[in-house]
Amino acid sequence: MAMSMSEVNHQRIKTNGIWLHIAEHGTGPLVLLLHGFPEIWYSWRHQLKYLANHGYHAVAPDLRGYGDSDSPISPSSYTFMHVVGDLLGLIDHFGEHQAFVVGDDWGANIGWHMSLFRPDRVKGFVAIGVPYFPRIPTIKTVEAIRMAYGDNTHISQFQEPGRAERAFARYDCLTVMKKFMLATWTEFLAAPPGMEIIDFLPTPSALPSWITEEELMVFADKFQESGFTGAFNYYRAMDLNWELLAPWEGSKITVPTKFIAGERDFGFKSSGGTKDYVEGDLFKSLVPNLEVVIMDGHHFIHQEKAQQVSDEILSFIRKLSSD
């Protein structure tokens, strides 16, 4: 189901004061595909072709800081407000009022906040791997994560400018991609004391059937060019997001939403982890128009179980298209 690179149209679009690179395929209603960490547009290669073949205009940007898109220097330029602004500009560029939005990992987080800020612009949202968490009024996000999981999560380690860059630089980018994308760790992502997360994650000796060395090299080559600072800046803006999100405290996500997760994702089955949360009452009260789909798989499930996830996306947006 993967596609050749030549089937995709590439362009750079000026939006919200920066240039974003996008990959697009097909014609019809607009579907934005938002990648996570450490990914680029190419993580949606399967869905781009599938959605185009089923009558949709699939658009996968490199988010700001990634790939061939601009990478502002300051971490304060990576808030949800900035990135949602970029994406609304893309919708405007294509002359649309609304888009379907699909996001994994950070892309899911961005999609949740796009749905929160501008529900009038989101026809339906598919979140993969990361649910919507309400703002805790009494404690900033990074500190809350430290209290729950200790000082050695990737989120904590990525805060200090330069630290993760130095750690990642000990490996070639292909090895970095293998360590993250092929991770089968099922607990919340945290290294032992005194160890960097990139050193803690093993490098698999063999590739799983769902990805090839050539596909991994597409990611590695782009990160070799761009570096990782733009990607880390999303983590470095987490506490600034907390400050800016105060006006939306207690708000619900009213956009029709499907949440998809792999049951072997990081921390999914841990005590107090994602499974307990998405099956509990709080999540359903915050996202009242919600469907939850749990399938066998890990974090990058839209690549690992590409056909299954593509079918789930299509059935959801088709249902909303006919409403």
299 assigned to active site: yes
**What pLDDT is recorded for position 1?**
45
d(C-alpha 128, C-alpha 302), whole Å: 8
* Residue 4 maps to a domain: no
Q: Write down the catalytic residue from 62, 68, 86, 104.
A: 104
CATH number at residue 117: 3.40.50.1820
pLDDT band at 271, cuts 50/70/90?
low
What's the mean per-residue pLDDT of the chain? 95
* Residue 71 maps to a domain: yes
- Is residue 30 within 8 Å of 100, Cβ to Cβ? yes
Q: Write down the catalytic residue from 21, 50, 235, 298.
A: 235
**What pLDDT is recorded for position 2?**
52
* Residue 114 maps to a domain: yes
d(C-alpha 18, C-alpha 12), whole Å: 10
On whether the pTM is more than 0.75, the answer is yes
- The domain in which residue 34 lies consists of 9-320
| Residue 272 CA: distances (Å) to CA of 267, 297, 305 | 9, 20, 26
**What pLDDT is recorded for position 5?**
59
239 assigned to active site: no
**What pLDDT is recorded for position 126?**
98
Report the domain count for the chain: 1
* Residue 105 maps to a domain: yes
| pLDDT exceeds 80 at position 3 | no
| pLDDT exceeds 60 at position 274 | yes
* Residue 42 maps to a domain: yes
Q: Write down the catalytic residue from 57, 154, 299, 302.
A: 299
* Residue 2 maps to a domain: no
d(C-alpha 290, C-alpha 280), whole Å: 12
User: Quick one: average pLDDT of 173-185?
Assistant: 95
* Residue 1 maps to a domain: no
* Residue 3 maps to a domain: no
User: Quick one: average pLDDT of 121-130?
Assistant: 97
